[in-house]
Amino acid sequence: MSRPRIVIVGAGFAGYRTARTLSRLTRHQADITLLNPTDYFLYLPLLPQVAAGILEPRRVSVSLSGTLPHVRLVLGEADGIDLDGRTVHYTGPEGGEGTLAYDRLVLAAGSVNKLLPIPGVAEHAHGFRGLPEALYLRDHVTRQVELAAAADDRAECAARCTFVVVGAGYTGTEVAAHGAMYTDAQVRRHPMRTGMRPRWMLLDVAPRVMPEMDERLSRTAERVLRQRGVDVRMGTSVKEATHDGVVLTDGSTVDTRTLVWCVGVRPDPLVESLGLPMERGRLLVDPHLQVPGRPELFACGDVAAVPDLNQPGQYTPMTAQHAWRHGKVCAHNVVASLGRGQRRAYRHRDMGFVVDLGGAKAAANPLGLPMSGPAAGAVTRGYHLAAMPGNRVRVAADWLLDAVLPRQAVQLGLVRSWSVPLESSSPEVARVPGRPEQSGKDAGTAGTAGTAGTAGKHADGDEGKKQPGGEPAKGQPGGEPGRNQPGGEPGKNQPGGEPAKNQPGGEPAERGPDAASAGSRSHGERAKRSQSGSPRASGKPRRAVEAAGPRSARGGSGKPGKSSRASGTGSAGKRPTAPSGPSRSAGQPADPGPEPPAHQPPPGPDIAPGPVRRTDGRAVEGDS
């Protein structure tokens, strides 16, 4: 008799716990495969401490292969599920595609950033769901404080050292609390010329901080925030976002270069395309975490609407505490479906919440006992050490060093603004130039969120290439470098950067590609790309295996989890290429300068591109 094949999609709290428990229960009698875009489990509650420079990134990243014995790890992202054929189609990190067959499937894909129909948010805000976003925020905040300290103009200094966090939930509260401590420490060592200090703002339409938690925890957190100078504004949110600031719902305008989006999360759009009963974007399951009518299909974590047996008629909230417990129960029920053991219904007991506010400050209510101050801080950090599945000694060592040594406020420059777009269904993966991206998938997410004035652009052919979520255009930072543009400075339309002349909305560079025609395509080809579409989970591969080199942008369907597929005129699998004719822009195109050879790598962040010479011995324009 063949060994049963179990496939788990996602390695968050629910997926990781399911894999670990299955590895123990099956006793090598089943083939367990874990499909995940990264090779680590991210301990999200400590992510604000990574952004504040307390913990190093690897401290909150637990190796999957090192902690999950007898579990096969497959790097990739599921983009198609054939429920009748019992296969999962996925795309690997380098564009390769594959298919996994299963006898039991566990969906634990997690959640993504929740967008609202607010103009400008998709272009100028950044989320806080993955490690790349935390690393970007740390670099960005550090850069803004350093630029503000060197500025002589008070208005510029005030804008750069103003940081706006939208969403006063668990994540937003911790980001504001840790961020205020981090920037205050920077200014103490290097005071600003204008005598100003960093200003943090926390906005939410809710009546109080952390409205989903106990009111006593809320009061404690708000008191600590106000003591640190955080401007807490309840009943207020962002009406419009621009590069230079935000317009609030109360009519006031705040000049800022930093907008952190922590308004909440929504389930991964993968489950919406399965055609199964849903509840507010989550897959409906029974108390045993099994999909009705599909005995081989289980779901847990943020993508599953699990009935709350303690509160009939309601579903368990999307929290890490529930996801972690879902994983254990799901593993037992998967094994029971294979004929070993008894099924379990999911019941939970509220163990309380802990909120780390930085330093010795925290708010906690373990087992319903409200606590604050140093005692709550000790309980909070003790809870995190006990809950982490690895790296406990390293985390404790970083906490000890942070208590006795000053933090290192330096920019690493590893993550750029365009590589962590807010409109992303994979916030755990940073975008890199030259790698095939699921721009159509992201556009579908944006279309569902209803971001005014942006969803259509991201979902329509070449317009998506000019936006942070798609493949960057040649003249954009992070794409193929501009002819004479160094790769070190972010573009003007990125928060906190210096104006780049060949960015959309800025002045065209003298020798760079025309901003209005960057990534231009012919009208006929643009129409071809917008005609065909394939559902994300239709059971068919969503896209062909990618060849080396940049791929063309795909149009989005505007529905979650669906994307339009590029259609060419040649044989199957081939994609249309950009025409080499003149630009369609109204103005006179600028001189693009010499084209770098194909074998020459793009310049690094600190290296300006030098002159390019022809290989046939003849001089080209621009040679020195």
Helix-, strand-, coil-residue percentages of the chain, each rounded to 5: 30, 15, 55
For residue 425, the model assigns a pLDDT of: 66
Highest mean pLDDT among 30-34, 508-512, 527-531, 537-541: 30-34
- Residues 341-362 have a mean pLDDT of 89
- DSSP for 194-238 reads T----EEEEEESSSSSSTTS-HHHHHHHHHHHHHTT-EEEETB-E
Tracing tokens 């942006």 back to the chain, one arrives at 454
Name which of 96, 57, 59, 58 is nearest 74 in CA terms: 96
Per-residue pLDDT tens digits for 232-272: 999 999 999 999 999 999 999 999 999 999 998 899 999 98
**Range 182-202 average pLDDT:** 88
Span 544-561, pLDDT tens digits: 333 334 333 333 333 334
State the pLDDT confidence band at 577, using cuts at 50, 70 and 90. Answer: very low
pLDDT computed for residue 435 by the predictor? 55
Average pLDDT of 290-304?
95
> What is the C-alpha to C-alpha distance for residues 440 and 418, in angstroms, rounded to an integer?
16
Q: The tokens of 571 are what?
A: 């044989």
Length of the chain equals: 624
**Is the pLDDT confidence value at 163 over 60?**
yes
DSSP 126: B
Average pLDDT, integer, range 35-42: 95
Other CB atoms within 10 A of residue 404 CB: 6
The pair of three-digit structure tokens given for residue 275, joined into one six-digit string: 């055609």
Give the tens place of pLDDT for each residue, 49-96.
Answer: 999 999 999 999 999 999 998 999 999 999 999 999 999 999 999 889
